[in-house]
Amino acid sequence: MRNVDEYLQRTESAVRHLFNAITGYIDTLKAGIGPIFVSGLPYGPEQDAHYSEWCLANSEELAKSKAAMEDFRAEAFALDTICGSILQIAEKGLEIYSENTQLHEPWGAIIPPYLAKFCVGREVRSTPLGLIVYAARNQHVHFNDSKLKNVSASIFNNLATAHGYGSNNKDPAFDLENPNLESYASNVTSLIG
């Protein structure tokens, strides 16, 4: 392919299919949104009794919600696979066609100059979008490796801590030490919109 426009044109139909697939998985998740218990009572026996009554009155809807959530959890890695494919297409486009040579601070101290091509795009959690795509694609493709390489790990550490709620509280959606996640691809595509 001669240029980025041709790359985008030749990958467009695949990306549209991938985004449509994501919508299908998200619809399953939305089906899991059920009734929500709200009470003005303080924690204690009276609220517990009120909650038990509420659960009985909403048992059918709660069962549907639980089943939909289980269906979504069963397909979570499939969703990550779809999102990882989108990240792969984006990463490859940046790798081939980005001409950026400038490193944003503080990333200049962390990222080797040959990765400057990924230091592009709007910032999300103080990280250029291209770097997020780079790190997320690497994490997804190498989810079974024991440790992510330093650059990608640094980017994920920033995503986990630069959320505005204090750096001591890691966002579990981007914490590489979260034992409940194998791939972070769907979390990243959701974060970057």
pLDDT reported for residue 164: 83
pLDDT reported for residue 31: 81
Contact of 174 with 184, CB cutoff 8 Å = yes
pLDDT in tens, 51-98: 999 999 999 999 999 998 898 888 999 999 999 999 999 999 999 999
pLDDT in tens, 5-35: 999 999 999 999 999 999 998 888 888 888 9
Instruction: Give the pLDDT band (50/70/90) at residue 167.
Output: low
| Domain ranges within the chain, ordered by starting residue | 76-192
pLDDT reported for residue 29: 83
The Cα 64–Cα 135 span in angstroms is: 37
pLDDT reported for residue 141: 96
Output the pTM of the full model. Answer: 0.86
The one-letter amino acid at 137: R
Strands (E), the chain: 123-124, 127-128
